Structure 1
Amino acid sequence: MADAAPASVLPPKGEGAAGDQAIQRALEASWPADLSASDERRLVAAGRDLLRADATGVGRGKWPELFPGSGPGLAPAFSTARFRIQAAVARRDHRPGRAVVHLVWAGTDRGGTYTDGRITDLYFTRTSQEGLPVWVPQPST
């Protein structure tokens, strides 16, 4: 008799917030940490804020260079009420001085379609401002 396939560590699609911890654990297990804990915390927080600003329009003013001309007349692509980040990690990028924040998220678009398990990678470059290290988001290319 053939062995049964191993159970997935990921929750089924549509599980909702109840499955987010499992997604976070799977993401961490599949992509081992390689940044300091403080850098990872800063990058994940910035990545979450940046993704929320991009998807919902909330907080775009924090990054005017990334969202030029995104005044009040620009409708966001996703509803703030139905947007959540399911999991996030920050890791070194293959280029020196760069990092990537990998986010798994869920949201309802303007057409009313809800989808979870969406994936976005945001890239940051380490620089220095007034002698302190700072992670600066890079524009999407």
Structure 2
Amino acid sequence: MLPVHGEGEAGDRAIQQALEAAWPADLPARDERHLLAAGRAVLRADATGIGRTRWPDVFGPLGQVLAPAFAAGRFRVQAAIARRDGTDRAVVHLVWAGRDRGGTFADGRITDWYFTRTTTSKGVSTWTVRPPV
């Protein structure tokens, strides 16, 4: 059972549990942890503008493709999962809440970030976020 919209942080656990039940884990724990951290960071950069220069392929070389719609203190990730999306791809599915600069609050917002597994010339495997299409 999902919480009522506007319940606040008290409902976040139920959203997390619902995501996990609907889409069982299928990645190694290390990959999942890495992808969740990266997905949260990319979403935060997208919503608040903080850290956009870390992903020039996503946000442009100056990180200023769009003006941020949310202040850092008015944004939170309610729940997140990382799952396979093919053999060398993964998706980080995030549910989040925020109050925009106009003062409108909304929770249950959904964003997906897609990642591709790449291997460096030294044989190290990494996950790279894909720009939105």
TM-score (normalised: structure 2): 0.93
- 1:70, distance to aligned residue in structure 2 (A): 2.8
Decide which of 67, 88, 101 is 1:97's aligned counterpart: 88
- 1:44, distance to aligned residue in structure 2 (A): 0.5
As a proportion of its length, which structure holds more helix?
A: 2
Question: What SS does the corresponding residue of 1:66 show, helix, strand or coil?
Answer: helix
1:33 and 2:7 correspond: no
AA aligned opposite 1:44? L
Unmatched runs of 5 consecutive residues or more in structure 1: 1-8
Identity over the aligned pairs, expressed in percent? 65
- 1:36, distance to aligned residue in structure 2 (A): 0.6
2:112 aligns with 121
TM-score (normalised: structure 1): 0.88
Q: For the residues of structure 2 that align with 1:92 and 1:110, how far apart are their CA atoms?
A: 34
- 1:110, distance to aligned residue in structure 2 (A): 2.4
1:10 aligns with 2
After superposition, the CA RMSD in angstroms is 1.4
Can you list the C-alpha shifts for 1:82-137, whole angstroms capped at 9, x where unaligned? 100000000001x3200000000001122211100000111000001231110000
1:50 and 2:42 correspond: yes
Greater radius of gyration (CA): 1
Dislocated runs of 4+, deviation >4 Å: none
Question: What SS does the corresponding residue of 1:65 show, helix, strand or coil?
Answer: helix
Unmatched runs of 5 consecutive residues or more in structure 2: none
